[in-house]
Amino acid sequence: MERLKFASAQDLRKRIQDEFIASQTVHPVVGSIIEGKATQDQLRGFGRQMWAIPKYNYAVAGGKVSQLQPLPDDPYGMGVPYDLKVQKHFLNIIIDEAGTEVFPNAPTHGHYELYLRFAEEIGIPREEMERVDIFLPQVVVAMESWVRMARDLPLVESAIGMNWINEIRFSKMGSLIETALKKHYGLSERATEFWSAHGEQDKQHSSIGPYLVEQYATTPDIQERVWIAAKRGAGIWMIILDTIWMEYFEKGRAR
Ligand SMILES: [Fe+2]
């Protein structure tokens, strides 16, 4: 098998930037919501399936913290020992996710709670959101892969696929969706806070990506693995949004 080749860590950073970030366009699901064209059923479908990401926020943020230092037998040497910048970054994400219910100085309520408020106001009761079978089969697979990435991959890989690639997307989408939810769907400030919080915080959460690549993706083996992780992160996002499009917009599924 031909191996992937990158001239340097900087080259890899640039190619991830071009391939997975700069070239991205607004997904039709997000486009429909932004324009106020999505029906209430479609908006609820989006609300149910996107829940896969915030629902497991502790598993994901905690999984990454477990990778903050390499295991003694870490075969790839991809941990990030004693890098205070990186450690602070990922511990701060936990504080943001957990919110003021756990850390009084956190910027907002916990993201889990904020999402439930959003869901409630678009007409999905909390009990339904807590049901095990709320997710479509494709989303179950995406969600499992999402949690596994955080738990199993060395931080330099999961941070690229998850924080860099996806939080940039989430941050752009967050601000656009917040505006649309108020303008076209009449949602309150309380119900859109999940989206405004992510517009802001995810910009900051994703900022660690380029630093990690340049600092730690310094061998051909690690560079190849980071590239695959970026692809995997982009794939999870595509599975969730494409599935929402197919099921709720094309097939007209009600729930
Ligand atoms: Fe969050």
The pLDDT tens digits of the residues spanning 131-145 come to 989 999 999 999 999
How far is residue 166's CA from residue 205's CA, in Å, rounded to a whole number?
A: 10
How far is residue 101's CA from residue 139's CA, in Å, rounded to a whole number?
A: 29
pTM of the full predicted structure?
0.92
Q: What SS3 class is residue 54? A: helix
Rounded to the nearest angstrom, the distance between the alpha carbon of 76 and the centre of ligand 1 is: 29
pLDDT in tens, 44-53: 999 999 999 9
Q: How confident is the model at residue 154 (pLDDT cuts 50, 70, 90)?
A: confident
Q: Which two tokens stand for residue 18?
A: 């071009």
Tell me the C-alpha to C-alpha distance, in Å, between residue 158 and each of 124, 128, 169, 213.
31, 30, 16, 11
Nearest to 70 by CA among 83, 59, 57, 61: 83
3-state helix, strand, coil in the chain (%, to 5): 70, 0, 30
Q: Which two tokens stand for residue 58?
A: 């502790």
Rounded to the nearest angstrom, the distance between the alpha carbon of 206 and the centre of ligand 1 is: 12
How far is residue 10's CA from residue 253's CA, in Å, rounded to a whole number?
A: 45
CATH class of 9-250: mainly alpha
Rounded to the nearest angstrom, the distance between the alpha carbon of 204 and the centre of ligand 1 is: 12
